[in-house]
Structure 1
Amino acid sequence: MTIRPLPDTLINQIAAGEVVERPASVVKELVENALDAGASRVDIDLEEGGVRLIRIRDNGSGIPADELPLAVSRHATSKIASLDDLEGVATLGFRGEALPSIASVSRFSMSTRREDAEHGSVLEIDGGRVGEVMPRPHPQGTTVEVRDLFFNVPARRKFLRAERTELGHIEEWLRQLALARPDVELRVSHNGKPSRRWKGEGGGAGAPSLLSDTRLHETLGQEFTRNVLRVDHAAAGLRLHGWIAQPAYNRASTDQQYLFVNGRSVRDRSIAHAVKQAYSDVLCHGRHPAYVLFLELDPRRVDVNVHPAKHEVRFRDSRLIHDFVYRTLHEALAGTRAGVEAGAGAAHGPADGLAAPAGFAAQGPGAGFGGGYMPQAPLGLAQVAEARSAYASLYGGGGAAAAQAPSLPPSLPRGEDASLPPLGYALAQLHGIYILAESAEGLVVVDMHAAHERIGYEKLKAAHDGEGLRTQPLLVPASLAVSEREADVAEREAGTLAELGFEVTRSGPQSLTLRSVPALLAHGDVEALLRDVLADLREHGESRRVAAARDELLSTMACHGAVRANRRLTVPEMNALLREMEATERSGQCNHGRPTWARFGLPEIDRWFLRGR
Structure 2
Amino acid sequence: MPIQLLRPEVSSRIAAGEVIERPASAVKELVENALDAGASRIQIEIRAGGTEYIRVTDDGGGIPTNQVELAFQRFATSKLSDSEDLEAISTLGFRGEALPSIASVSRVEMRTRAHDKDSGTCIEIEDGETLSLSSAGLPVGTTLIVRNLFRNFPVRRKFLRSPASEHTRIQTVVSHYAMAYPEVAFELRADRGRPFTTAGSGDLRDAVSAVHGRRVAEAMLEVSSDGEIAEPSVAGLIGPPTLDRANRTYISLFVNRRWVQSRSISYAIEQSYHGFMAERRYPVAVLNISVPYDDVDVNAHPAKAEIRFKRENRVFGAVQRAVRKTLTDHAPVPEVSHRAVSRPDSPQYSQRTQPGNPSAFWPTAPFSPSRGSNVGSRNSPHPRHTADLGDFLAPHDPSESTSPPSITPGKALPVLRVLGQIRSTYVIAEGPDGMYMIDQHAAHERIMFEKVRAQTSAGTPEVQSLLEPAVVELDARKMELILTQTEAISGMGFVLEPFGDNSVILRGVPALLKDSDQASALVDVLDLMADGGGFETWEERAAYSIACHGAIRAGKVLSPEEMRELVTQLEQCAQPNTCPHGRPTMIHMSSGQLEREFGRT
Shorter-chain TM-score range? 0.5 to 0.7
Shift of 1:316: 0.1
Structure-2 change in CA distance of 1:311 and 1:428 (3 Å): closer
Give 2:220's match in structure 1, choosing from 207, 228, 239: 228
Q: Which amino acid aligns with 2:205?
A: D
- Match of 2:30, SS? helix
Structure-2 change in CA distance of 1:192 and 1:217 (3 Å): closer
TM-score by length of 2: 0.55
Matches within 5 A, 1:19-98: 19-98=19-98
Aligned-partner Cα distance in 1 for 2:291–2:59: 29
Aligned-partner Cα distance in 2 for 1:293–1:593: 31
Aligned-partner Cα distance in 1 for 2:339–2:378: 9
Q: Which amino acid aligns with 1:115?
A: H
- Match of 2:122, SS? strand
Aligned-partner Cα distance in 2 for 1:270–1:40: 32
Q: Which amino acid aligns with 2:120?
A: G
Aligned-partner Cα distance in 2 for 1:192–1:430: 49
- Match of 2:14, SS? helix
**Partner deviation per Cα, 1:11-58 (whole Å, 9 max, x = no partner):** 221111111111111111011101111111111111111111001111
Aligned-partner Cα distance in 2 for 1:592–1:326: 26
Kept in 2, the 8 Å contact 1:284–1:593? The answer is: no
- Match of 1:6, SS? coil
In structure 1, runs of 5+ residues without a counterpart are 202-208, 340-369, 371-422, 432-446, 454-590, 595-613
Structure 2 residue aligned with 1:219: 211
- Match of 1:133, SS? strand
Aligned-partner Cα distance in 2 for 1:76–1:46: 27
Structure 2 residue aligned with 1:151: 151
Structure-2 change in CA distance of 1:230 and 1:592 (3 Å): farther
Matches within 5 A, 1:250-261: 250-261=244-255
Aligned-partner Cα distance in 2 for 1:86–1:4: 31
Structure 1 residue aligned with 2:560: none
Shift of 1:193: 8.7
Structure 1 residue aligned with 2:168: 168
Structure 2 residue aligned with 1:16: 16
Q: Which amino acid aligns with 2:122?
A: V
In structure 2, runs of 5+ residues without a counterpart are 342-376, 384-552, 557-601
Aligned-partner Cα distance in 2 for 1:104–1:299: 32
- Match of 2:245, SS? coil
Structure-2 change in CA distance of 1:167 and 1:427 (3 Å): closer
Identity %: 39
1:280 aligns with 2:274: yes
**Partner deviation per Cα, 1:68-127 (whole Å, 9 max, x = no partner):** 121011111000112221111111100100111111100111111112323221221111
- Aligned alpha-carbon RMSD (Å): 2.8
Kept in 2, the 8 Å contact 1:281–1:592? The answer is: no
Aligned-partner Cα distance in 2 for 1:178–1:62: 21
Structure 2 residue aligned with 1:239: 233
Structure 2 residue aligned with 1:249: 243
Q: Which of the pair has more CA radius of gyration? A: 1
Q: Which amino acid aligns with 2:320?
A: Y
Q: Which amino acid aligns with 2:51?
A: V
Structure-2 change in CA distance of 1:309 and 1:35 (3 Å): same
Structure-2 change in CA distance of 1:332 and 1:593 (3 Å): farther
Structure-2 change in CA distance of 1:142 and 1:6 (3 Å): same
Structure 2 residue aligned with 1:183: 183
Shift of 1:428: 5.9
Structure-2 change in CA distance of 1:244 and 1:194 (3 Å): closer
Kept in 1, the 8 Å contact 2:206–2:217? The answer is: no
**Partner deviation per Cα, 1:418-438 (whole Å, 9 max, x = no partner):** xxxxx4xx686757xxxxxxx
Structure 1 residue aligned with 2:122: 122
Q: Which amino acid aligns with 1:227?
A: A
Which 4+ stretches in 1 moved above 4 angstroms?
426-431, 447-451, 591-594
- Match of 2:79, SS? coil
Give 2:259's match in structure 1, choosing from 246, 249, 265: 265
Q: Which amino acid aligns with 2:247?
A: S
- Match of 1:189, SS? strand
Q: Which amino acid aligns with 2:96?
A: G
1:138 aligns with 2:132: no
Structure 2 residue aligned with 1:555: none
- How many residues are paired up? 351
Kept in 2, the 8 Å contact 1:65–1:133? The answer is: no
- Match of 2:42, SS? strand
Q: Which amino acid aligns with 1:232?
A: S
Structure 1 residue aligned with 2:289: 295
TM-score by length of 1: 0.54
Aligned-partner Cα distance in 1 for 2:192–2:138: 21
Q: Which amino acid aligns with 2:143?
A: T
Aligned-partner Cα distance in 1 for 2:112–2:55: 13
- Match of 1:255, SS? helix
Structure 1 residue aligned with 2:494: none
- Match of 2:319, SS? helix
Structure-2 change in CA distance of 1:4 and 1:239 (3 Å): same
Shift of 1:164: 0.9
Kept in 1, the 8 Å contact 2:108–2:144? The answer is: yes
Structure-2 change in CA distance of 1:59 and 1:448 (3 Å): same
Aligned-partner Cα distance in 2 for 1:593–1:168: 37
Shift of 1:450: 7.2
Q: Which amino acid aligns with 1:335?
A: D
Kept in 1, the 8 Å contact 2:269–2:320? The answer is: yes
Aligned-partner Cα distance in 2 for 1:231–1:592: 31
Kept in 1, the 8 Å contact 2:105–2:153? The answer is: yes
- Match of 1:99, SS? helix
Shift of 1:214: 2.1
Kept in 1, the 8 Å contact 2:61–2:140? The answer is: yes
Q: Which amino acid aligns with 2:303?
A: A
Shift of 1:220: 1.1
Aligned-partner Cα distance in 2 for 1:145–1:28: 14
Structure-2 change in CA distance of 1:109 and 1:331 (3 Å): same
Aligned-partner Cα distance in 1 for 2:111–2:339: 72
